[in-house]
Each structure stands twice: as structure tokens, then as C-alpha cells.
């Protein structure tokens, strides 16, 4: 029986076996350890399944939609607290301890501070500051910031939307309205791969343009198709 602060980690995956391997290896150093880790693949991936078995993680399969994958993981996970991570995130070893401290201080949900992986540059710092300001003004925290929520709050807010992009937007808005959402000072490392491929300005503007179109009513399916086209050279699509 999980305690009130036992944390389940949920990782959506689309052809990210190498990144999952790094994440699962790093999880061995987390203190305290997660209650369980659930990896949800958007396709049949025997190699990924074997990797999860070797590391004691649960492997699930879903259709390739990040919202559907994350919600399946949330419904399957055993912990009282749900922590949603991208496979290529660099996670602080004390991340679960930070979540527990936030819960003890009255939080029901929250996210980590956005920070890019790798060497420090002025343009990385500028984007990080932009994200921080957006969140301070009540903006949406996205999945790359390591969203977490108690199961009670997650279910009360209707969970993640069953859609391939911006699946967390509705949930974060509802969690914020409860008044118990916290942005933790601990930093989570965000992969720079797509920014380096597309160009830092182009990627940042492109992401904001997608977010603006979504806020104006564009369908997430249509936006996901545009996102996939942008990522085609990387042989990836949203998951």
C-alpha cells in the first residue's frame, strides 16, 4: 500500500530507447527512489520492453498520442503521487525529495524549473528567463518541466487530455485554479537536440506560434501534424 508521498514516475516514449536507458540508469541514484516507474510506448517495442524488465520498470503500449500514453501510465501507476517525465530529461537526484517537501508545505501539484542541458550560453539563459516569466504570469507549464500531481488532484481535475499535443494545458489550468500548484526551484534539464537542429530562435518562435494557434482554437491533431512535419528530419513524431 503506497504512502501519501510515494511517487510514481510515468514516461511516454516514441522510439526513445536510448534516452530511456539513460533515464533508468540515472534513477538508480535518485534518493529516495520512486515507488514505481511506468514507461508507455507509442508502438510495439520489444527492445524497450526488455530494457524496462531489466531495470524493474513497468512497460506498457498505447497508440502514439502523448496524452493517451500519459493517462494510461497514470491509471496504471501505483503511487499516490504522479510525476510525468520526458525520456530525455536530466532529472535531479533529489527530485522526489523536492516533491515531498512541496507536498509537506501544502502543494498538490507543480513542476520543476526549466533549464537547458549542456554548457551555459546567453541564449539558453534568455529562453529560461522567458519561461520563468511566463509561469510567474500564470502561463502553462509543459511536460518538459517534470509535472507532478497527487493522484487525488489529478483525478479531480480530469487528468490529461486524450490528444497528441498540448495534452497538459487543460490539466495545468485546472490545477492552478486549485491554488496549490508550485514551481520548484530545483532545475530539470531539458534536451537541446531540437533547438540545435532547428536553430534556437526558430525553434522558440515555432513553439510559441503553435501555442498561440492552440489558444486560438486550432485542433491539437492539426498542430501535432505540423509538429511532426517540423521534426521529420529527426525521424520522430509526438509521443
The per-residue pLDDT for 78 is 95
Q: Could you list the pLDDT tens digit for every one of the 239 residues in the chain?
A: 677 789 999 999 998 899 999 999 999 999 999 999 999 999 999 999 999 999 999 999 999 888 899 999 999 999 999 999 999 999 999 999 999 999 999 999 999 999 999 999 999 999 999 999 989 888 889 989 999 999 999 999 999 988 878 889 999 999 999 999 999 999 999 999 988 988 999 989 988 888 888 888 888 788 877 777 666 544 444 33
User: Domains (ranges, CATH) in the chain?
Assistant: 7-193 (3.90.550.10)
Q: Residue 106: CA atoms inside 13 Å, Cβ hemisphere, count?
A: 3
The residue written with cell numbers 511566463 in the block is: 134
Q: How deeply is 233 buried, as exposed, middle or buried, from its count of CB atoms within 10 A (0-12, 13-18, 19+)? A: exposed
The per-residue pLDDT for 234 is 46
User: What gap in Å lies between CA 46 and CA 213, rounded to an integer?
Assistant: 37
The per-residue pLDDT for 226 is 72
The per-residue pLDDT for 1 is 64
Peptide bond into 212 cis (omega under 30): no
The per-residue pLDDT for 48 is 96
What pTM was computed for the model?
Answer: 0.91
**C-alpha closest to that of 9 among 83, 92, 109, 86:** 83
Torsion of CA 145, 217, 70, 1, to 10 degrees: 90
- What do you get for the CA distance between the two ends of the chain, in Å? 31
Strand, coil or helix: 17 = helix
Amino acid at each position: 500500500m503506497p504512502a501519501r508521498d510515494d511517487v510514481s514516475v510515468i514516461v511516454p516514449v516514441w522510439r526513445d530507447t536510448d534516452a530511456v536507458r539513460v533515464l533508468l540508469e540515472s534513477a538508480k541514484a535518485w534518493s529516495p527512489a520512486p515507488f514505481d516507474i511506468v514507461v508507455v510506448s507509442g508502438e510495439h517495442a520489444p527492445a524497450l520492453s526488455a530494457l524496462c524488465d531489466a531495470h524493474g520498470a513497468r512497460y506498457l503500449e498505447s497508440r502514439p498520442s502523448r496524452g493517451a500514453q500519459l493517462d494510461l501510465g497514470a491509471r496504471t501507476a501505483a503511487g499516490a503521487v504522479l510525476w510525468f517525465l520526458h525520456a530525455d530529461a536530466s532529472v535531479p537526484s533529489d527530485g522526489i525529495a523536492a516533491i515531498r517537501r512541496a507536498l509537506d508545505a501544502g502543494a498538490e501539484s507543480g513542476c520543476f524549473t526549466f533549464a537547458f542541458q549542456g554548457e551555459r550560453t546567453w541564449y539558453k539563459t534568455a529562453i529560461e528567463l522567458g519561461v520563468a516569466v511566463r509561469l510567474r504570469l500564470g502561463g502553462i507549464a509543459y511536460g518538459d518541466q517534470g509535472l507532478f500531481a497527487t493522484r487525488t488532484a489529478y483525478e479531480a481535475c480530469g487528468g490529461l487530455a486524450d490528444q497528441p499535443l498540448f495534452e497538459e494545458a487543460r490539466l495545468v489550468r485546472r490545477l492552478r485554479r486549485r491554488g496549490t500548484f508550485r514551481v520548484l526551484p530545483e532545475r530539470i534539464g531539458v534536451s537541446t537536440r531540437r533547438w540545435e537542429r532547428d536553430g534556437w530562435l526558430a525553434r522558440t518562435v515555432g513553439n510559441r506560434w503553435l501555442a498561440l494557434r492552440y489558444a486560438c482554437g486550432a485542433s491539437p491533431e492539426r498542430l501535432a501534424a505540423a509538429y511532426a512535419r517540423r521534426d521529420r528530419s529527426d525521424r520522430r513524431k509526438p509521443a
